Structure 1
Amino acid sequence: MDCFSAVNDDILQNILFRLPASSFASAACVRKSWNRVCNRVLAFPKLATALSQNPSLRDAVREVLDKVLSGPIRPQFAIASIGLQFSLEAAHHLISRKLGPKVPVVTNTSCGIIGRDAITNTMKEVRWHMIPEEDGSVSQEFEEFNRGIVLIVGYLPGLKVEAIPLLRLKTDPQVTLVDRFLTEIKNYTAYASGLIAPTGIIMFGDQNVDLTPVLAEIDCAMPEETVIAGDASSRFICNSSHNSPQYNSDLFFFDAVALVFAKDKNKPQGIGETRFHSRLSAGVMPFGPELRAITVASKGTECSWITSTMNGIPQIIDSQRLLGDINVELEASADLYIGVIQKRPSSIEHEKMEMRKYLAFYEVIGGDDDYLVIDGVGVQPGDTFMFYHSDSATASSSCLKAFEKLKVLRSPSNPWATPVGAHIVGGGKGGAFGGLMFSSHYRGESYYDSFPIYSNFPGTALAGIVCSREIGRDSATSSVWQAAKKESPARCSLHVCTTVYLVLSYIPPPPNLYIN
């Protein structure tokens, strides 16, 4: 110990910076001077990510945990995305037990994973095609193929993080408690930061719940600067930092969960600012005339039958013939959707009689004479819609646009980027330090989607979750359709065939405010 007391802080910091997380945490408890140096090391935010395709759940979790905890970090939150052949409950238990009960953890199932391999450090994009055998059995190859995990652990000094669930009463399963959800987000943000809105929200929604109207309420309630991204097509388990008894699974269904990132009003002096930046890459193209729904019949929450007309033509459209013509024109691999403009009263502000206007997507699954059959419910008579199809050219061009928009984060003249020569104690610099992706299962080949982050910020921590419904705030998707009508575009927060990019950047404090 005496020999270490003679070591100056710079040398000690260099030593501590090389320790794994557990040893680093122990070192911080040795003496006050070491704790001070440890705090200097952790003055910079960190996103640690790792991917494993090990077919053993226990081994896969061990590999990714060893990787993300191989350097100094104080986990504030964790996101784990796994293949369907892994046990959701077991994976969540293993990760939560390792990180501790006070770390908010969300574990979800996914259609694929994106990230650097925990063993080889190579970048991988894995999209699982979860198709069972025709006789209903599952082959051994399928069992081993649909296994893997990507783990994201974050430490963001200057921000506080909490997991807040969207609940639905089991005694009244028709009512989702959106008002309570928004109130809890606002109350937590006010408690943490004294502000009315968080910096960012990462959401995960149950695959059997339509989050379109919920996201419309959230979009209306949150200012534009609050970044919202996520996956609305999974199964998930979550725990908050305090495991409140008010979130009793015996009383409630969990329709979604939000990781809420709020500025810390008690941020120590010498800590800079973490910012969230979101960009979207759409992969669908509108086509054909505008149609109007005349009658709608639904089967539970599964699907709907719609009759429709075209403006100026009173006859009901022969949907089966229409789909036949569309199939002739489209590529065989294209997926077909309808984008519906829905104008609905607010579910939480009944007294104001305000209408929410948003674009909702439904996959077309068939046609029967006059009826168009879609996956899901929610369309009402009088709603207008257009057909959309997945389009590789659109996906490619929008991916390039996302690359260019993210590129500005590298520019020294940009307010988000770091002034030339700016450094923080601990070896970190400002600028982008991590990226998350929520990418459609139906998009391109390997490395196609990750390159806007991967190429702009080489070496930066990057991880992604492959979804079938992507959450991201955007009004541009419907603007092509509505520009001709001179209408304000409907907001769209729940997408198909889209990749949502979330980049985290850091602005260091002024030089005279660094931690000593």
Structure 2
Amino acid sequence: MPNEESKKKDMADMVFIASMNEDLLHKILSRLPAKSFAFASCVNRSWNIVCNRILSRPKMTSAFSRNPDQLRGGEEVLDKILSEPIRPEFVIANITCGNMDGILRLITKRVGSRVPIIVSLVAGILGKEVCNDKAGEVKQGDTSFAILLTIGYLPGMKVDVIPVTQAIGESEATIGDKFVMDIRNFVSVVSDHAAPACLILFGEDTHATEPIIRKLDYVMPAETIIVGDQKGEFLHKRAKESRNVELYKDNSKVLAGLIFARDRHKPIPEAGRIQFHTAISRGMSSIDLRYKVANAISLPIWPCTLLTAKRRGEAEVRNGEQILDDIENLLGNNISELDPYIIGVVKRRKYSVGLEKKPKIMASLVFHQITGADEQYLSVSGAGIKTGDYFQVYSPDLKVAEASLNAVSSQLKTLKSKPNKQELVGGFVFASRERGDSFFGRPNAESSPFLENFPELPFGGIFCDGEIGRSLFVEEGEEKEETSNRRCLHLVSSVYLMVSFTFS
């Protein structure tokens, strides 16, 4: 039994804590790990007020681990991010190999079942390492396992995962319309706005993703940010689901979108506004070779397309070897895995959603990598190319990439120096697997825009097989007129997502 003296000491300690001024209490509570912080917020009303004030500021933080043990690596990044006060509203976990379901279960156990989660298998990761906070990157094959974890808390936003599944025989148009309507329904329930502020997409390696993403580009207003990874593998868990939901028999995964909508029920406590920004570092230059597709055969199982084409101004139909000879004669080098050739196809398609009576035409530039050639056809990755489409040849270009990367850094510098009080909350990069240290010949090139302008920012990123990022570009058309085309799918590029908090 405690003696009278110890009781008096405990009572004195409690009186001291209760009499603490708010500034001192704020400093103490803000240093607690997330779990202890959550308990502290329940102590009494005054503590809850201080805790809510601490959490009124948005937060988005990332860390990665190279630990070859999957469970320990997952615990390391969770311990790192949850070592400070944060109220998880969404989680993105990216791994280079291993068991996605195990990572999903681990995260759900630590952050709770009410948090939307996406786990994806990617070609590589970049960011700041959990053990030393130094920037680095890891690609598949560099180590047996690596994991990047990103957790965000964005007050004033409602976040959830909306998936896209496809049944056997179901068309891309049908599932694309359903995805658009699911997004609209979610936004209408939680927000006073007509469209989400941001979509972060993770796709499976299937031909169904491209037309759906292009439909989103058509439907969503210009202010909606769309970024992501087109081709990979993923698992997802929606808010309030205890675990990943099993698919119906014969259904296949296509996409999962992390949807950010402005929440009508939970405005930001402090005067201010969450904003999303994008910047794109391109890595290709066009070659003066323009063609019109004479015949296209889609093989959706791969997926790939076999095609023949006519050069602009010529009547002769050229086979695959002849088209490849055109490229090599102009450039004077051979195609290889390290220096892929790419065609940019302008796809003019009609789009409509739901009960829209009059479809509208939108022109999109979509990149397809050349994978082979023979005496009959040129083989390119991906589907959706039609007879009559125009295309131009592109090639990776380090000079273009360096100049474009500097432009992204300048864009972040401008964001940093805006006269209104603006704070960068977090950043994420979707980079082509063709890029990285080996492409630039120096370390942390993809990270340099963040490191140069916001060295303390805990950013993250992944290497993709198809980067998603909205943009509009202008180039010379067939009749030498400038025509505007949409570009949402990229190759040999890096798409930067920045989240900022602007004070009124």
Contact 2:135/2:447, CA 8 A, preserved across alignment:
no
Could you tell me which residue of structure 2 aligns to residue 450 of structure 1? 447
Give the letter for the 1:191 counterpart.
V
Partner Cα distance (2:451, 2:48) in 1? 34
Deviation at 1:408, TM superposition (A): 0.9
Contact 2:309/2:318, CA 8 A, preserved across alignment:
yes
Matched position secondary structure for 1:235: strand
Give the letter for the 2:112 counterpart.
G
Q: Pairwise mapping of residues 341-380 of structure 1 onto structure 2 (< 5 A)?
A: 341-346=346-351, 348=353, 351-380=357-386
Contact 1:409/1:431, CA 8 A, preserved across alignment:
no
Give the letter for the 2:54 counterpart.
V
Number of aligned residue pairs: give it.
Answer: 478
Could you tell me which residue of structure 1 aligns to residue 273 of structure 2? 273
Q: Report Cα offsets for 1:310-338 as digits up to 9, x if no partner.
A: 12211112431442453462476321111
Deviation at 1:357, TM superposition (A): 1.6
Deviation at 1:201, TM superposition (A): 1.0
Partner Cα distance (2:470, 2:423) in 1? 23
Q: Report Cα offsets for 1:199-238 as digits up to 9, x if no partner.
A: 1111111122442221221112111111111111110000
RMSD (CA atoms): 2.1
Q: Report Cα offsets for 1:353-380 as digits up to 9, x if no partner.
A: 3223211111101111142111222111
Deviation at 1:273, TM superposition (A): 1.2
Q: Pairwise mapping of residues 224-373 of structure 1 onto structure 2 (< 5 A)?
A: 224-243=222-241, 249-250=247-248, 252-266=251-265, 267=267, 269-302=269-302, 303-327=304-328, 329-330=332-333, 333-346=338-351, 348=353, 351-373=357-379
Deviation at 1:110, TM superposition (A): 0.6
Deviation at 1:394, TM superposition (A): 0.9
Q: Report Cα offsets for 1:92-129 as digits up to 9, x if no partner.
A: 11112211111000000111111111111111122235
Give the letter for the 1:151 counterpart.
L
Aligned-residue sequence identity (percent) comes to 33
Contact 1:212/1:493, CA 8 A, preserved across alignment:
no
Could you tell me which residue of structure 2 aligns to residue 505 of structure 1? 500
Contact 2:121/2:232, CA 8 A, preserved across alignment:
yes
Corresponding residue to 1:184 among 177, 182, 185: 182
Matched position secondary structure for 1:120: coil
Deviation at 1:407, TM superposition (A): 1.2
Contact 1:44/1:271, CA 8 A, preserved across alignment:
no
Q: Which moved more, 1:368-377 or 1:334-343?
A: 368-377
Contact 2:352/2:359, CA 8 A, preserved across alignment:
no
Could you tell me which residue of structure 2 aligns to residue 94 of structure 1? 106
Partner Cα distance (1:330, 1:277) in 2? 38
Distance verdict in 2 for CA 1:256–1:505, change over 3 Å = same
Give the letter for the 1:310 counterpart.
R
Partner Cα distance (1:269, 1:343) in 2? 45
Gaps of 5+ in 2: 1-13, 438-442
1:17 aligns with 2:17: no
Q: Which moved more, 1:442-451 or 1:232-241?
A: 442-451
1:78 aligns with 2:94: no
Q: Which moved more, 1:226-235 or 1:250-259?
A: 250-259
Q: Which moved more, 1:495-504 or 1:283-292?
A: 283-292
Q: Report Cα offsets for 1:437-465 as digits up to 9, x if no partner.
A: 00111014121111112211110121001
Give the letter for the 1:7 counterpart.
M
Distance verdict in 2 for CA 1:330–1:432, change over 3 Å = farther
Give the letter for the 2:306 counterpart.
W
Could you tell me which residue of structure 1 aligns to residue 7 of structure 2? none
Contact 2:235/2:244, CA 8 A, preserved across alignment:
no
Deviation at 1:268, TM superposition (A): 5.1
Contact 2:430/2:464, CA 8 A, preserved across alignment:
yes
Partner Cα distance (1:437, 1:246) in 2? 26
Deviation at 1:246, TM superposition (A): 13
Could you tell me which residue of structure 2 aligns to residue 486 of structure 1? 481
Partner Cα distance (2:276, 2:239) in 1? 22
Contact 2:278/2:498, CA 8 A, preserved across alignment:
yes
Deviation at 1:3, TM superposition (A): 2.1
Deviation at 1:189, TM superposition (A): 1.6
Contact 2:163/2:255, CA 8 A, preserved across alignment:
yes
Give the letter for the 2:308 counterpart.
T
Q: Report Cα offsets for 1:459-481 as digits up to 9, x if no partner.
A: 012100111100000122xx234
Q: Report Cα offsets for 1:7-44 as digits up to 9, x if no partner.
A: 01111110000000000000001111110000010111
Corresponding residue to 1:473 among 459, 470, 475: 470
Distance verdict in 2 for CA 1:23–1:170, change over 3 Å = farther
TM-score, normalised to structure 2's length?
0.90
Contact 1:167/1:176, CA 8 A, preserved across alignment:
no
Could you tell me which residue of structure 2 aligns to residue 496 of structure 1? 491
Could you tell me which residue of structure 2 aligns to residue 53 of structure 1? 66
Matched position secondary structure for 2:35: helix
Give the letter for the 1:156 counterpart.
L
Corresponding residue to 2:410 among 404, 414, 421: 404
Q: Pairwise mapping of residues 211-222 of structure 1 onto structure 2 (< 5 A)?
A: 211-222=209-220
Could you tell me which residue of structure 2 aligns to residue 38 of structure 1? 51
Partner Cα distance (1:246, 1:187) in 2? 22
Deviation at 1:288, TM superposition (A): 2.4
Give the letter for the 1:348 counterpart.
V
Contact 1:284/1:388, CA 8 A, preserved across alignment:
yes
Partner Cα distance (2:172, 2:402) in 1? 40
Could you tell me which residue of structure 2 aligns to residue 136 of structure 1? none
TM-score, normalised to structure 1's length?
0.88
Q: Which moved more, 1:243-252 or 1:299-308?
A: 243-252
1:441 aligns with 2:433: yes
Distance verdict in 2 for CA 1:41–1:8, change over 3 Å = same
Partner Cα distance (1:483, 1:404) in 2? 33
Deviation at 1:505, TM superposition (A): 0.8
Matched position secondary structure for 2:76: helix
Could you tell me which residue of structure 2 aligns to residue 152 of structure 1? 150
Contact 1:92/1:107, CA 8 A, preserved across alignment:
yes
Deviation at 1:508, TM superposition (A): 2.6
Contact 1:158/1:272, CA 8 A, preserved across alignment:
no
